[in-house]
Structure 1
Amino acid sequence: MSELLKNEALKNLFERRSIRSFKSEQIKDEELKEILEAGKYAPSAANQQSWHFTVIQNKEILQKINDVAKSAFEKSGIKRYEERAKAEDFSAFYNAPTYIIVSADEKAIAPIADSALALGNLFLAAESLGIGSVWIHAVNFLYTTEEGKALFKELGIPDGYVTYGSGAFGYNAGEKPKPAPRREGTVNIIK
């Protein structure tokens, strides 16, 4: 191991993988609190901290979100999502016991970037605690249906806030995936 990889922050960055198979066991409240605190410490444009975190751990509400997501996938017009929705065991968030939706004030300077950075912090904090996570883009399709818009209101997402991403969190039920090879030619250094 190089000297740099002894650094815990770098180790988390290099070892984190998207997990798509979760144990049904709920993450601990203390772990959730630390993950959310890390999200609040993400960089944001002009330090507006424009995000809002909606945490769902209730099985019935998770099922309702999944049902609305499946319906939105079926109507998406995107072949890949339409095919995925046909799966008998469809789960938009891979049956994870904790689902966190990140929304942000649509009038903020950079709500998309603020949300993405906050999600990145959530994922890295989870990794540091031995909790698996995966980005879930499906939440963005929920805005395409009236049922989805009503669900967001029911979940308490503030008026004027738009969801830009979400994450599924839980203990890994399988083997951690190996890293995909990194693409070449993605860096220019000018000195």
Structure 2
Amino acid sequence: MNETLKNIRNRRSTRAFLPEQVNGADLTEIIDAGLYAPSATNKQPWHFTIIQRKDIIDRLSEAFKEIAMKSDNEYIRRFSDNEKFHVFYNAPTVVLVSGDESNDNASVDCGVAVENMLIAAESLEIGGCWVGLISYLLNSEEGKKFVKELEIPEGFKQIHSFCLGYKKIEITNAPARKENNVNYIK
């Protein structure tokens, strides 16, 4: 099996990270993988905000829990009750992916960029976890101060995020794949 297919099959969501920061050269390679993702009509409607300051990452997590407490969604509200929950699993690096609000394909295009970056991380033996919950904060009225502080450009909306770090534990067993998800018409 070639290395690309191997990395796709081996990638798992990492939720336990070592405290050491992802080194700059590896982080650059991961971000470049996102920049080279395909996008509809090559619009590249993304903006990446890389956060490596623990104080900001922790403030984002706490602010998410505060907004979750007020949610009408029971699933979201449950996160606010867990004192130990950290929306980014205490990872040392967080990447926010924002999309051009005027681009109808931004969500999909940004999602493709995230997957490229997560596969690149796996190829470098760096763990990652796609985190959707932070959008509840950053796209709310309460989140506007963070959008400004994090310098997310005007006209862009935070869509996806993921955290990165060196894996504390290696997860090797893949959950069973659902059956009957493919049919061929020849």
TM-score, normalised by the number of residues in structure 1: 0.93
- Correspondence 1:1-191 to 2 at 5 A: 5=1, 7-143=2-138, 145-191=140-186
Does the aligned pair in 1 maintain the 2:138–2:146 contact within 8 Å? no
| 1:90 partner letter | F
1:35-67 alpha-carbon deviations (Å, 9 max, x no partner): 000000001010000100000001111111111
| 2:49 partner letter | T
When the two structures are aligned, how many residues end up with a matched partner? 186
Q: CA deviation at 1:72?
A: 1.9
Q: How far apart, in 2, do the equivalents of 1:19 and 1:111 lie?
A: 26
Q: How far apart, in 2, do the equivalents of 1:119 and 1:162 lie?
A: 15
Q: CA deviation at 1:144?
A: 5.0
Does the aligned pair in 1 maintain the 2:139–2:157 contact within 8 Å? no
Q: CA deviation at 1:132?
A: 0.2
Greater shift, 147-156 or 15-24, is seen at: 147-156
TM-score, normalised by the number of residues in structure 2: 0.96
Does the aligned pair in 1 maintain the 2:132–2:160 contact within 8 Å? yes
User: Which SS does the other structure have where 2:29 is aligned?
Assistant: helix
Q: How far apart, in 1, do the equivalents of 2:60 and 2:70 lie?
A: 15
| 1:46 partner letter | T
Q: How far apart, in 2, do the equivalents of 1:157 and 1:189 lie?
A: 43
| 2:145 partner letter | A
- Identical-pair percentage: 42
Q: How far apart, in 2, do the equivalents of 1:129 and 1:70 lie?
A: 32
Unaligned 5+ segments in structure 1 are none
1:61-86 alpha-carbon deviations (Å, 9 max, x no partner): 11111111111221222222212221
